[in-house]
Amino acid sequence: MPIPTRLMDDHSEAYLEWKQAGLRGLTCIHVDAHLDVSDTGLGARELSEMASCRSASELERFRSSEFLPWGGLHCGNYLYPSLYEGIVDHLVWVVPPHLVRGDSLLGWTRGELQNWMNLTAGEFRSLRESQGRVEGSVKGRHFTLCTADRLPELPADGVLVDIDIDYFLDPDDHVWQTPWELKQRLGSVSVRALTVARSVNGGYTPLEHRYLGDVTLAVFRDGAEEQRALVERLLRADRARVEDPDVYSREEWPEGPGWLAPTLCIKRAAAGKEEPGSENHALAARLDPDYRLHALNVGAALFRKKRYQEANRWLERSEQEMALCTYLRGLARFKQEDHLGATALWRPLLSSGGLRPLERSYVSFMLAKSLSVLKRTAESLPLFEAALRHEPDHPDYHHHYGLALRDAGELTRAAQALRRSIRLAPDRLASLQVHLDLADVYAAESKAALAQAERRQVRRKDVTGLYALKAMLSEGSR
């Protein structure tokens, strides 16, 4: 019987594929430069409702745009419901070696996981390094982080192989490993389902490397030896083009698979630093509409690389997904601490009426955060309340709402909101900061005993050492 197989642009479709195939309790080999298990965008209510869905059409109302992860199910969080529902029982994150920085694999893993999710103290303590791997527990499931040549022992009844082709790209977007080399390093893995994401739309993969999705699928399905020499020749040309921009045009290329001709057009355009709309770009789009250069994709990729000014120029050019472009331009300003610029973009976006409910609540929250930084608390409070009406169990929303109430001088309500945030996520490390903020509110109310009790909670719960130090400094400053 053929195994479930999907080649996709939006990596969140892997979750749909597994769910529709009725797969459960499996090990997932997640080969990716990104973990994709963010716990933002989906609250407890959404996770519960998604678990009861049985078709793509039922799940549609939870999905975010493929071009940009924000409120709802998207390419950055699809593994979260997969873990929650038990589709994935053991998540093995295979990372490119250049991704790991610092002296310790364990230290890097702890930091990177906190970039993706709100770790609990128990999850943080569970992480251990052994035999070139980090093992632990995440979201109640077994978690492993390793490189492709350090896989743990895998079950004989097969695994989910889930690949994002941005794994093959180094920080300069050069291919550092081919799909054949990856397959060799993974060894003889028994595959229950194969999912491959191109991640061009809104992702990290430049259009010129889109073809790697087709190649990866073919390699893991049947070996694709007939394409190996062609891909290696293409990669040699990639390396040579800095000194020789005409390298793709100088020699004749074979007929090749369907991806070759449009890929060569895009590579010629990239080598020549051609503007969108050039002859090569136009020819690529005529050969295959999926090779049309979208300003939104370029802008989103630049944004992810923190090249915000370049990203903004591309996003201003975009004629598609205008709401997303506006949101992303605002987020670029937010990241640069230009909160006036962010609010100027996000306020009309909220009034436009073109947002889904989860997107609306998230934009309301982000706009409220910017207004709070600008000390415009009276404007921020109704926006926090609007976000909470749709996602009443979101601990971060309650946390920042509490801080805004504190700034407005409403200390009793601020303490209520902060306590609510802690009750919703009592064990996560991020809640230790909420305890500290609550201690400050109690201190402002002259409730010294309650403030001291919150700081004791921090010292007792903290497994990182960071929050306990903050508690000592906070106490010492009073």
pLDDT value, residue 321 = 78
Q: How far is it, in rounded angstroms, from Cα 119 to Cα 124?
A: 6
pLDDT digits (tens, 9 = 90+) for 419-463: 999 999 999 999 999 999 999 999 999 999 999 999 999 999 888
Both tokens of 243, joined, read 């000194």
Residue 72 has pLDDT above 90, yes or no: no
Share of the chain above pLDDT 70, in %: 96
- Mapping DSSP onto H, E and C, the string for 93-109 reads EECCHHHCCCCCHHHHH
Residue 193's φ and ψ, nearest 5 degrees, are -155, 145
pLDDT value, residue 358 = 81
pLDDT digits (tens, 9 = 90+) for 92-109: 999 999 999 887 999 999
Q: In what order do the strands lie in the sheet with 159-164?
A: 5-8, 191-197, 159-164, 26-31, 88-94, 141-146, 133-138, 128-130
Q: How far is it, in rounded angstroms, from Cα 284 to Cα 226?
A: 23
Q: Is 472 helix (H, G, I), strand (E, B) or coil?
A: helix
pLDDT digits (tens, 9 = 90+) for 385-424: 999 998 899 999 999 999 999 999 999 999 999 999 999 9
pLDDT value, residue 67 = 57
pLDDT, mean over the chain: 92
Q: How far is it, in rounded angstroms, from Cα 71 to Cα 357?
A: 8
